[in-house]
Structures are given as structure tokens and as C-alpha cells.
Amino acid sequence: MSALDALDDRQREAASVLRGPVAVLAGAGTGKTRVITHRIAHGVDTGAYSPSRVMAVTFTAKAAGELRGRLRALGVDGVSTRTFHSAALAQLNFFWPTLAGDTAPTIIDNKVRLLGQAADAMRLRPSTATLRDLASEIEWRKVSMLSIDQHAALGRPLSGMTLEQFVELQRGYEALKDDRRQLDFEDVLLACAGMLEAESRVAKAVHEQYRHFTVDEFQDVSPLQNRLLELWLGDRQDLCVVGDASQTIYSFAGAQQRYLLEFERRFPDATVVRLERNYRSHPPILAAANALMRGRPGALDLAAVEDDAADAAVAPTLTAFDTETEEAEGVAASIAARIASGVSPSDIAVLYRAHAQSGVLQQALAAAGVATSVLGGTRFFDMPEVRQTVLALRGAAVAPNELGFLPTVRDVLRGLGLTDEPPAAGGAQRDGWEARRAILRLAEEAPATTTLREFADALMARAKDQHEPAMRTVTLSTLHAAKGLEWPHVYLVGWAEGALPISYATGFEQIDEERRLAYVGLTRAARTLSMTWSRSAGRGERAPSRFLAEIGTTTRGTGILREVPPSAMTGARRA
């Protein structure tokens, strides 16, 4: 069976071109990861690629782990699947001893702490919040490839510090790092790029090692990452980039969608494939997403795949509440009713613009008896209960037992406190119970021939790849953290001016970024989409988000959103 057999026509077109520059403009839910992995597998299967000569680059360790796992499932091992930073760090650690006669500098684990020490030396006492903001500004400066003086000339607004003080603070921060032989996260990319530019033998070695490059989420590339990619490529053009300009939501961190939008200008002979067949969402949801992005640079026109479920598709709903508390309670009541009707909590997500919105939602959901987990909180395999369970299972795997695999797993989990009935929703105890229950489900779903040692090893492999099992909880997440994920039922809360778009987004580019963030939220939903907003926040009155007007009407004047009263949210919804 060919690696291309499981692809649709457009996906197959993208995966079939193995040489030269390729740009895959992949809309939400169109199968971009499938294209990336099947393209690499096709290259290996046909002998066009040697796995060790391929580098697949993405932006998070979790995404890199997913690529690695999917390639392994296709029978491909040995491909370098890394983030930009991990690839650069590996090259620094490999070449630095030869070039400098010493080990590579260490990486600082807390930029804010070091900035605080530099501020102390200047007899400044900025708040922790100010230091965090300044750390973010330093990160933006570096990934934008600006010197301290070039950055100062931009006159970007700062909080809690004058521009002159910030310039001096940055110089002190850099001096501290130099004295301690340390690099920060962005220095890793800068140092690697500098090494490749200055040392021809290093560049030659890297060019010999890696011949074929794939870059996922190319719309999020910063000037520094793009420069490093150019240095990795050298004078070759075997580069495949995959991205969606409509999902550029990290401009504040230096991402520039122009590298994707201008790819054809840079490579006039590039193969460009547009993936617009959406395998995730029902047509009414895609209609809302398309309406929001119509006319924006690089926007794709997503079309749903027709299937039996399409007949059951319902228009996204919009509900207005008087207060944020009533909004949270209405969403919680709707979710509780949906779960009561048979929907799994893990199929439901509540998405919001800012972390500050999560508290009232957690409180309302706990009061409704609904267990939640916050995306972006403690990673599953870093939870104390999970680490304790994995260690106990590894210990049990080397001890003689006559119970068999699954009874032993149950026995270990019971010994660690897993009960048949969960504790009350909300709080650390419920979180730990849900985590251990997720491990038990993995054991129950494992093949009957699985041994305890194999299961423990599989958990360790999952931890390495950040392949977290689904917990039967409702997911709470910011829109940023939800990117790349999907749920059958999604609640988008806080669609009011000042929340989405957020209050400090004032210029055209900032509002456009907020629009793209809203688009990411819309396209996370597969079957139902419930949107809400509240007329007041504290003592202030608010207007509905301007994006609702853009979504609500198509160019033909046909309504897209269906307005429903708050009372309608409490009834059980169709699963």
C-alpha cells in the first residue's frame, strides 16, 4: 500500500511533489499533518529520501512528538522531527566543543529572574509583571533580529520603565549572561545562525546531513527563524512549507505571515497547493469562519466534506447575557444538560480570549457538577499523581505477580487511591482522580497480549512525545492554547468589545490579529458551536463584538448565526 493511498486528490498532489520548493496552503481541518507525514513517508518509500537526511520542523515539542508518532505508524524511523530551538540547540552542542574547545553555554531557565538581578544592580525595583513584559519585549527584539539600539529607535511603548532605563537594563542583562556563560532561549537561534554564517565547515556539515526540509505552521515563522532556515538550506531548494495565513496569531511574539504569503515570490518555480476540503466541521460552522475571514490576505474558502451527519448540522448559536456571571452559569447549565443527554465531557470545550476569564467559568461548572481541566496548565505526565502511578507500574513490572496485566494495573491504581466513584467536581483531588482514571482506560484499551512492562514503557514513550490521553473532563482553554485542537462541541465565550477584540488591540494590524484569533476559535468546533457574550463587565457596559456583525451576514444577506435567549441554553441539546 502506497503512502499516498489514504489521501484525497489535493492532499495527494501536495504529497507527490518530492523535490524543489513546495507550499501547502492548508486551511483548518484539511489534514495538513497527514500531508506532511505521508509526503515524507512517500519520499522514503520511493527512495527519494533517506530518513536521516530529512528534517521536519515545527513550533512545539508536542507537535514534534505527534509528527514523530505518525511517521512511526507509517513505518518511518530516523527522521529528525524537532522544534526550531531543539534543532538549533543540538547543532550548538555538537559543534561548539570543536569550535571553542569548551562545552556550550548553559541555557537560563528563568529570564525574569535574571532581569530582576540586572535591575537590582541598577537600583531599580520593577514589579514582577513589569519584568515579564520586559522579558517578552526582549524576546520580540531578538526574534525580529534587532540590536538594542535598533529596538530603542522604534520607540515601542513600555510599562513601568523609561526607554533609557530599559536600554541600560538590557545591557546589564546581556553582561550577566556573558559573565555566567549562559544563553537565553532566543540566543540559541542567534548563536546557531551566527555559527553557520561564520564557520563554513559547520555549514557544509549541516548541508551534508540534511537535504530535505519540511516546516509546519509556516505562518508563525519569525525573521530569526526564517534566517536560520535559509542557512540550513544553503543554495538548495528542497523545502516544503505548510501553513494558513488566517491562523497567524503570534505576531506579538514575532511571527510574520509574509514569509508564507510571499513564498511564490521568493521561489517563482514553487508548487503551490491549496487544501480547502475541511474534514472537521459541519457546513454552518465553516460558513461562519469563511464570513469572518472573507477578503483577508491568504484566506482560504473552506468547504465541508459531505457525509451522513451533515443533514443534522445546525447553525451556530449566539446568546447574550446581562453579566459575566450569568454567562458562565448559562454555559455551565448547557454543558451539564448536554452531558446528561449522553455527550462525553471530553468532547466539549469552552474557549476564551484571556486566562482571567477562566475563574468564573470554573466556579460555575464546578457548581453544576462538571469536571474540568485547563489546557496549558500542568502537563498530564508532569502531574504528581501521574508520575507516582508510572513509577508504581514500573516497579510492579519487575516484581513477580500472578494477577495478570489488567488486574495488576487496577490493583496498583486502587492502592494509590483510585476509587470507583469520583470526588466532587473541582479541585486537585478530582484532577488526580481523572488522571488516574485516564491511565486505567489506556490499560483497558490495550491489546490483551500486553504485558505490564510493555504498558509502562508505552506510558514513558507517551510522556516523551507529550502524547497525553484524553481525560473525561470539559476542556477550558484560551484561544491561543486551543490552536491545532478540535472538539465536537465548542462554547466560545466573551464575544464582546474589550474582550474579543481585546481592549488593548487598537490599530488595524492588532484588530486583524484578533480576527484571526476568533477564526481559530470558530474552526475548533466540529458539530455544534455556541457563542456567548455579556452586556456588562463589573460596572461597565459593553457592546457585542464587531466580529459578530461580520459573521452574522454573508455577502448575499443570509443570516449565519442563530440568536437564542439565555433560557434556551439550559435545555438538553441534541448530541
The predicted model gives 304-313 an average pLDDT of 62
Judge contact between 416 and 385, C-beta under 8 A.
yes
Q: At 234, list the grid cell.
A: 544553503
Q: pTM higher than 0.95 for the full model?
A: no
φ, ψ (nearest 5 deg) of residue 359: -60, -50
- Is 417 a known ligand-binding residue? no
Judge contact between 238 and 211, C-beta under 8 A.
yes
- Give the fold, CATH level 3, of 9-19+33-88+190-241: Rossmann fold (3.40.50)
φ, ψ (nearest 5 deg) of residue 490: -125, 135
DSSP 3-state of 61: helix
Burial 82-91 (b: 16+ CB within 10 A, else e): bbbbebbbeb
Judge contact between 282 and 309, C-beta under 8 A.
yes
Inter-CA distances, 528 with 85, 318, 347, 368, Å: 37, 12, 11, 21
Amino acid at site 3: A
pLDDT at position 554, please? 42
- Is 31 a known ligand-binding residue? yes
CATH class of residue range 283-296+307-377+474-570: alpha beta
Residues 6-54: tens digit of each pLDDT: 899 999 999 999 999 999 999 999 999 999 999 999 999 999 999 999 9
Judge contact between 32 and 24, C-beta under 8 A.
yes
- Is 33 a known ligand-binding residue? yes
- Work out the pLDDT band at 260, boundaries 50, 70, 90: very high
DSSP 3-state of 62: helix
Least confident segment among 58-72, 130-144, 170-184, 373-387 = 373-387
- Is 426 a known ligand-binding residue? no
Residues 196-220: tens digit of each pLDDT: 999 999 999 999 999 999 999 999 9
Residues 6+ apart with CB under 8 A from 488: 343, 347, 348, 525, 526, 527, 528
Inter-CA distances, 113 with 110, 128, 129, 131, 158, Å: 6, 9, 12, 9, 19
Write down the residue that cell numbers 448536554 correspond to: 338
Q: Which run of H or E residues covers position 530?
A: strand 525-534
Gap between the Cα atoms of 334 and 491, Å rounded: 10
**What is the bridge-based pairing of β-strands 474-478 and 348-352?**
parallel
Q: What is the mean pLDDT of the chain?
A: 89
Gap between the Cα atoms of 288 and 536, Å rounded: 25
Does a cis peptide bond (omega within 30 degrees of 0) precede residue 126?
A: no
φ, ψ (nearest 5 deg) of residue 110: -150, 95
Gap between the Cα atoms of 116 and 122, Å rounded: 10
Residues 270-299: tens digit of each pLDDT: 999 999 999 999 999 999 999 999 999 999
Residues 385-428: tens digit of each pLDDT: 888 888 888 888 877 766 778 888 888 888 888 888 887 766 67
- pLDDT reading at 309 higher than 60: no
The predicted model gives 225-247 an average pLDDT of 96
- Is 378 a known ligand-binding residue? no
Gap between the Cα atoms of 86 and 84, Å rounded: 6
Gap between the Cα atoms of 326 and 153, Å rounded: 47
Gap between the Cα atoms of 84 and 40, Å rounded: 18
DSSP 3-state of 86: helix
DSSP secondary structure, 188-256, as one string: HHHHHHHHHHH-HHHHHHHHHH--EEEESSGGG--HHHHHHHHHHHTT---EEEEE-GGG---GGGT--
CATH class of residue range 106-180: mainly alpha
- Is 32 a known ligand-binding residue? yes
